[in-house]
Structure 1
């Protein structure tokens, strides 16, 4: 019996060590990713909750396991002004590298509360879950120990490896569970029953998801979507194969996911842009670190970053002081959606290109090894 338990322990230990190795990212890359995610959020993707204070209480239908479930309705507008203000302030601190670990922890708490109220309208966006996991993951890394105005104290590097490994497991498990039901329904070798088209038609005719390239679906042969029905869930199901395969395989899988999300935006008008904040850890951070010699240094770099952050902060505060008509949050597919989607598509293209560069240059390897190869 003890021999069997020892074998199982060693087997699982080897699996987790392999995942830790394949998902590892060096600290300097994480530091540049920290700056990226701060600018990314402050420039466009920061959530706006101020309008919840004007929402009718009849819309309040909180989901279980969310913070809003503890309340009996939407709070006064001043509460959401506070949440928005703290979100802006903390992302400024993250971008500049000021008490980064504490800032990420507070961001997780604030965004968990804010998005809990957003989910109270009856719809849960899957990308939010991953975004929240990224925020709490960063707490257990040395992301704030380099390229920072006020550096954090270093923690055990093994803790960082475990944090990134668990994040990767969360991604892989999420896509496995998403792919399994689709695989059971879609992979039937019946061209008269196409899962993608069923999904598309409901969105197109019921929710008016008819923007971008949605109308091109009607001009595409059915066989293309029948193939997609088999290919998409199969790739989701084998997520752990990529994660356990190698460092390169895991990055390839993330690039494939980027293509999936961009396709969903173009054809189904469903955005997952916040997922860039997750994939960027593995794809964007290493590229920025690789080109660090081209970035400004010293006081010039600090002044430029301070200037950029100041402009973005004023922009975010201005949006909330002089905010326009927030009814677009109810009528989602509007001109705002076109603008948001085009920006997201550009960001997906940038992420994909950086992903290809990361894979081609093997930037996921030890930085010194990469340097010797170039």
Structure 2
């Protein structure tokens, strides 16, 4: 099969197009999927570059770093085995099944749940892996995954549109769930033009919350299509003044970086900060007095339960959320797609098609 294979940590040159890579076969409890489209996400860039390693303190550049620790360069702080086919957001059809899987599933249209859980202990976060990281993913013509991670979907959306949901939207839903967002909240979303940011806007609105999006002014028209109540510039000089009378009860952040203290300073007493990324930089300054004197709650959000993807499929099928598809690239142009993704040339999600 054709596959884009990541050969090691480093720059875009580490992704090598292979024209005759071995096609995987489904083991017991697994399915073989003919990939129709696969989304591109920050986790693909960060794993390839080695940014998750604690030896790296810079923002996510997408390029090679001088030093990447060999023991913790993945989302889970563990080593990674190369060569590796990345890509977590597959949409496709099941074409074969392994032992113990109902053959009636052949032909099903599915999207993938990226979280690989221990079937005997699915709630244990310490026994999880990620599709495209701990096992090969979807930047190829075929891929295998656990049968329970191939989630059936019935939708009129295109394959490319469906390939935008899994990683970005499940990340966003996990963040909002950890922060217990309800219709009583006003949620501030930095980086609202990105895949997770746009998903946060839609999913917070679905919960009935008031949403204030932050994005570069050139992308405000695209962000407006997602339905936020207010749109602000990406980094207002005086955020409190820019917010006016708005009372921020939740900050849902995947940006971090030097602007981060401004986000914390505008939280109301008893407010919640939820985080699942730090694309502008992982090292931030925190005045602990702000944290404890204002009774703030901080929640990190990475591993999610299987119910999240099932809920997202229900939202998709009911038309309650929509895809934010920015661009599609052929598989052989994955390096160009990542370069565009890193440069933030597009608003929304980028998808590659084998």
Bigger relative contact order (CA 8 A; separation at least 6)? 1
More helix by share: 1
More strand by share: 2
With normalisation by structure 1, the TM-score equals 0.27
